[in-house]
């Protein structure tokens, strides 16, 4: 593959890149996304954590006890919050960490996966996101794009809120 061909692929929209990938002889629709041997976790997209904290606080009294917040603070502090005290910045930061862990446990966060391919000694990185539980309703895959290196991919994924790179 010539440098011009690589530049052309990298300049395509993600939809056109996906079409290009699917036309390659090494692409197998049945196994490409699910083959865990040659894919790496690149990061996780948790979503808007501020919105998730707001949801927890707005629905604080819907669950008695609110196990998420109760696991975060002492019993005395929990009673103060229940009476109307606001969470401190430190408590909000801890709540965000709990939410991230819950999202991972419940398979609600998007996992960013990376596959490396080599075409005529040119390395390209294919990225896709995975959502869902492999044993439950199944995983769903979304092609995200072809990139020259990790840094270019990080720039692309930084548009999402709550993204963490491994």
| Structural domain boundaries enclosing 10 | 3-45+109-165
Q: Do 32 and 16 sit in the same domain of this protein?
A: yes
Q: Do 31 and 65 sit in the same domain of this protein?
A: no
pTM of the model: 0.80
Cα four-point dihedral sign 28, 32, 34, 35: positive
**37-86 pLDDT tens trace:** 567 889 999 999 999 999 988 888 777 677 888 888 999 998 899 888 99
Q: Do 124 and 97 sit in the same domain of this protein?
A: no
């Amino acid at each position: 593959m010539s440098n011009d061909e690589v530049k052309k692929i990298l300049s395509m929209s993600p939809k056109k890149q996906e079409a290009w990938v699917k036309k390659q002889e090494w692409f197998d629709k049945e196994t490409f996304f699910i083959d865990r041997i040659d894919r790496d976790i690149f990061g996780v997209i948790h979503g808007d954590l501020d919105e998730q904290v707001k949801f927890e606080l707005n629905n604080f009294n819907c669950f008695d006890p609110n196990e998420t917040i109760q696991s975060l603070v002492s019993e005395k502090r929990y009673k103060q919050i229940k009476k109307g005290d606001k969470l401190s910045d430190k408590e909000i930061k801890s709540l965000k960490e709990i939410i991230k862990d819950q999202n991972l446990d419940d398979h609600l966060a998007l996992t960013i996966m990376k596959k490396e391919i080599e075409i005529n000694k040119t390395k390209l990185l294919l990225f896709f996101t995975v959502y869902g539980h492999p044993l439950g309703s199944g995983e769903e895959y979304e092609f995200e794009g072809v990139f020259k290196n990790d840094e270019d991919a990080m720039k692309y994924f930084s548009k999402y809120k709550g993204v963490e790179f491994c």
